[in-house]
């Protein structure tokens, strides 16, 4: 029986690992990637998206084909509960996934902020293309947070 590896979250580490994992090392392993949406958006290109240098198709990985190309499968859903004793993960869509080993790479959320009418957060990044679109066409857009990401986004917006 192949062992089942469950990769929770399509973060950078998981996508790189899937891409670089050799066929020999994957032998006897069945793996599944779980992530809330069909795409993973690459944050290093968000500013270029804001500036209009890229289209949204340029800055994302389509997870289903990516997984199939590398010999695994993809399931859409967010992990809401992990039971290590029973070795199972429950998703927000009601699926129960069993695993022999699980790896978690679900990224971070923007601290202390919540999206509301007219306010959008960049992390998690599922809605980034919509956020960027709204910001680009807003009459008076404001970027809150002066970390590298905020400054980069503000300058791109100005450009």
Ligand X SMILES: Cc1cc2nc3c(=O)[nH]c(=O)nc-3n(C[C@H](O)[C@H](O)[C@H](O)COP(=O)(O)OP(=O)(O)OC[C@H]3O[C@@H](n4cnc5c(N)ncnc54)[C@H](O)[C@@H]3O)c2cc1C
Which tokens is 147 given? Answer: 């970390």
156 binds ligand X (CB under 6 A): no
Least Å from the CB of residue 1 to ligand X = 25
What x-and-dash track marks residues 58-97 binding ligand X by CB under 6 A? --------------------xx------------------
CA distance 99 to 101: 5
Among 5, 106, 113, 135, binds ligand X (CB under 6 A): 106
122 binds ligand X (CB under 6 A): yes
12 binds ligand X (CB under 6 A): yes
Q: Tell me whether residue 1 or residue 108 sits nearer to ligand X (CB atom).
A: 108
- In terms of Cα–Cα distance, which of 102, 100, 105, 89 is closest to 28? 100
- In terms of Cα–Cα distance, which of 142, 108, 94, 116 is closest to 11? 108
Q: Tell me whether residue 20 or residue 23 sits nearer to ligand X (CB atom).
A: 20
CB neighbourhood size of 34 (10 A): 24
Which tokens is 68 given? Answer: 């199939």
49 binds ligand X (CB under 6 A): no
How would DSSP label each residue in 3-30?
Answer: EEEEEES--HHHHHHHHH--HHHHTTEE
Q: How many residues bind ligand X (CB under 6 A)?
A: 26
126 binds ligand X (CB under 6 A): yes
CA distance 76 to 39: 10
Q: Tell me whether residue 30 or residue 104 sits nearer to ligand X (CB atom).
A: 104
- The binding site for ligand X (CB under 6 A) comprises 8-13, 34-36, 40, 43-44, 46, 78-79, 105-107, 122-126, 149, 152-153
């Amino acid at each position: 029986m192949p062992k089942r590896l469950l990769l929770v979250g399509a973060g950078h580490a998981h996508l790189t690992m899937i891409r670089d994992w050799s066929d020999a090392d994957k032998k006897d392993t069945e793996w599944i990637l779980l992530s809330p949406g069909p795409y993973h958006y690459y944050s290093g290109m968000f500013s270029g998206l804001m500036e209009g240098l890229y289209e949204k198709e340029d800055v994302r990985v389509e997870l289903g084909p990516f997984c199939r190309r590398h010999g695994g499968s993809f399931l859409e859903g967010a992990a809401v509960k992990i039971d290590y004793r029973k070795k199972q993960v429950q998703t927000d869509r009601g699926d129960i996934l069993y695993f022999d080993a699980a790896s978690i790479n679900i990224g971070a959320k923007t601290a202390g902020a919540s999206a509301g009418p007219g306010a959008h957060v960049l992390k998690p990044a599922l809605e980034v293309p919509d956020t960027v679109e709204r910001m680009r066409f807003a009459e008076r857009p404001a970027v809150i947070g002066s970390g590298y990401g905020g400054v980069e986004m503000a300058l791109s917006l100005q450009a």
